[in-house]
Amino acid sequence: MKKIIIMVILLIGVSFMSAEDKYNELTKQEKFVIEQKGTEQPFTGIYNDHFEKGVYKCKKCGEPLFQSGDKFHSSCGWPSFDDAIEGKIKQRLDADGYRTEILCANCGAHLGHVFVGEGYTDKNLRHCVNSVSLQFQPLEAKLEKAYFAGGCFWGVEYHFQKLDGVISTTVGFMGGHVDEPAYNDVVKGDTGHAETAEIVYDPSKISYEELAKLFFNIHDPTQVNRQGPDIGDQYRSVIFYTGKEQKEIAQKLIEILKNKGYEVATKLEKAADFYAAENYHQEYYDKKGSKPYCHVYTKRFDE
């Protein structure tokens, strides 16, 4: 009988420990607000003027509570949201007898109060939340790739790597029939590959259309199998599109240039395997401390 009682006590202890262990450790200030239902001083919270894209989660248990798109300026001194993620917030009458308290539905953490009828937004609702009750998870950027060939890839890369929203650039080869080509193979002109720049970019900061416009502005799209003094099939003008949207945007821009009188030689080809060039080709002009000799910016589109 004693063994059974001891086992029950141990199991109860383990259940309490596992429930407690799943919560984040709180600071003295966080415990004051979250567990003792205190309030941080107005205009002092880190999220009061914070408007980055992402999700605001419960500081205690990590449950998602509010979307950044529902946050607004209220000038009240605390983060304000006119909506909450469905089912994540519970309400109850505050101890003062007239305000409505809001708590995390998962762990019961005190968040703040909710107010109705103030007219701040169309939803006419304000969740007034303490910053210390929250932890922010930024929206992870979904990066995309673009591939442009327009003469010597040194110059193409030089212009793209300076754009805000471009995460990285790599020069290499695409469009040919030889696997793992080296630079010395491609310059012979019989591999079918074009010198190509791979652009990794954040579409939330820069659009594919902006990238494609720059491509047409930094090289002469009317030249066939050459760019300036560089002559050969490997220097042809090509946009290697990764999907239908990129292809349609490129086609639209080509039509605009044709209507302006340009005899556009740029081809559109579906992106294939990309082979990075040797390291000494990467960021070539930055390493040399010089500028491109055959890629000069020329505005060809009306902004």
Q: 5: Cβ–Cβ under 8 A, 6 or more apart, which residues?
A: none
What does the alpha-carbon distance between residue 171 and residue 187 come to, in Å, rounded to a whole number? 14
131 token code pair: 């910053």
247 vs 241: CA distance, rounded Å? 6
Note if 152 is an active site residue.
yes
Instruction: List phi, psi (to 5°) of 204.
Output: -80, -15
From CA 243, how far away is CA 186, in angstroms rounded? 26
- Could you tell me which residues are beta bridge partners of residue 147? 198, 240
Strand partners, 173: 195, 275
Q: Exactly one of 58, 104, 128, 294 is catalytic; which is it?
A: 128
The residue among 71, 111, 104 whose CA lies nearest residue 88 is 104
> Which candidate in 58, 104, 152, 294 is catalytic?
152
SS3 280: helix
User: Measured in whole angstroms, how far is the alpha carbon of residue 157 from the centre of its chain?
Assistant: 21
Classify the C-alpha dihedral 267-273-274-275 as positive or negative: negative
CA torsion sign for 20, 21, 23, 29 is positive
Query: Which residue numbers are catalytic?
Result: 128, 152
